[in-house]
Amino acid sequence: MDISSQKITLLSKMLLTPRVLWLRFQLSEPFCFQAGQFIKLEWDVNRQQVARSYSIASPPYQGMTSLSLVATLLANGIASTQFQHAQPGWQIWLKGPYGRLLLSKASECPPQLVLVATGTGIAPFYAMLPELEEYLKKGCQIELFFGVRNTEDLFFYYPFRMLAERFINFRFSVCFSRLQTTNLPHGHLGYVQDRLIVLDTHPSALVMLCGHPDMVDRCFSLFTKEKGLKASQIKREKYILNH
Ligand SMILES: Cc1cc2nc3c(=O)[nH]c(=O)nc-3n(C[C@H](O)[C@H](O)[C@H](O)COP(=O)(O)OP(=O)(O)OC[C@H]3O[C@@H](n4cnc5c(N)ncnc54)[C@H](O)[C@@H]3O)c2cc1C
Ligand SMILES: NC(=O)c1ccc[n+]([C@@H]2O[C@H](COP(=O)([O-])OP(=O)(O)OC[C@H]3O[C@@H](n4cnc5c(N)ncnc54)[C@H](OP(=O)(O)O)[C@@H]3O)[C@@H](O)[C@H]2O)c1
């Protein structure tokens, strides 16, 4: 897919949790991307250019005029501070799309798809929801593991819970790292790796990992060393801070 550049305008924003902001931008030109990809945003702060990457959290659609992303608000982070203060009408540059966290068409779906995310690393999988539904209709077994600190930090829960209610071949696990107990449907305690250890992995599974860099490294090692998957069966996107 060609990399293009265009000016985009903030349309609206909303806190999904106290630490996660959802932002919707108006496009000024047509933009082609696939669910799972990310963009680079660029703007100036005190005449210095700032560039930050964000996964696209909205699915592509025909005649698309806007796209959304979700950003974790880091204390004193340059982009985090800018996003908190930005008002509708704020204009910045978008470059992209980038990334290889892509699904093949449903007719070529693997027997098992394992999706693992921490925090805003869930964004690309949220953008994939229409494609995941097609995979499920084709009989693919999908396992989603989503790691967050606690219930207050949880977002995008209901769309995935609804999917689990509609398809028996979709399993959803929310992994709370900082809770001692939970009675939330699909809720578990610990890191995503703690659930992955007990997962029966199909030898032809496709795995997608997104979010905290250390989680991505640990899960990659778990799938390749302990579950016998090849590196080519694992797609990764690390949310590295200093880039
Ligand atoms: C391919 C890619 C996709 C990405 N997609 C997303 C996305 O969809 N959503 C998203 O929220 N982010 C995403 N990121 C991260 C994002 O690009 C920014 O790095 C992030 O938003 C922080 O930017 P900032 O300017 O607010 O912080 P910066 O000004 O860059 O400050 C970051 C600094 O904060 C400090 N820090 C504060 N809190 C922490 C913490 N909890 N852990 C570690 N260090 C901390 C560190 O010292 C670090 O150097 C992505 C990154 C990449 C590479
Ligand atoms: N080196 C880096 O570039 C770097 C380092 C840290 C974070 N980040 C990025 O910074 C943003 C904010 O990060 P955040 O830490 O504030 O929160 P976060 O990404 O929202 O964290 C989400 C969940 O991931 C868990 N987690 C942390 N380390 C993990 C690991 N090694 N394995 C499995 N799960 C793990 C957290 O648990 P606990 O917090 O309870 O341990 C929490 O439950 C994210 O985009 C993140 O990916 C980048």
Q: What is the mean pLDDT of residues 111-124?
A: 98
pLDDT at 243: 62
Structure tokens at 13: 């924003």
Q: What is the pLDDT of residues 124-143, one digit of tens each?
A: 999 999 999 999 999 999 99
Sorted by sequence, the CB contacts under 8 Å of residue 49 that are 6+ apart come out as: 42, 43
CB distance 129 to 158 below 8 Å: no
Q: What is the pLDDT of residues 7-50, one digit of tens each?
A: 999 999 999 999 999 999 999 999 999 999 999 999 998 899 99
Q: What is the mean pLDDT of residues 54-61?
A: 97
**Which ligand does the CA of 118 lie closest to?**
2
Top-tier CATH class for 106-238: alpha beta
Domain spanning 4-98, CATH architecture:
Beta Barrel (2.40)
Confidence of residue 120 (pLDDT cuts 50, 70, 90): very high
For the Cβ of 213 lying below 6 angstroms from any atom of ligand 2, the answer is yes
Q: What is the pLDDT of residues 60-69, one digit of tens each?
A: 998 899 999 9
Ligand 2 atom with minimal separation from the 176 CA: 43
Q: Per-domain residue ranges for the chain?
A: 4-98, 106-238
For the Cβ of 177 lying below 6 angstroms from any atom of ligand 2, the answer is yes
For the Cβ of 54 lying below 6 angstroms from any atom of ligand 2, the answer is no
Ligand 2 atom with minimal separation from the 153 CA: 20
Percentage of residues of the chain with pLDDT beyond 70: 100
Same fold, 4-98 and 106-238: no
Alpha helices, DSSP H only, in the chain?
Answer: 78-85, 123-127, 129-137, 157-166, 192-196, 213-221
List the residue whose alpha carbon is closest to atom 40 of ligand 1: 74
Q: How far apart are CA 105 and CA 62, in angstroms?
A: 17
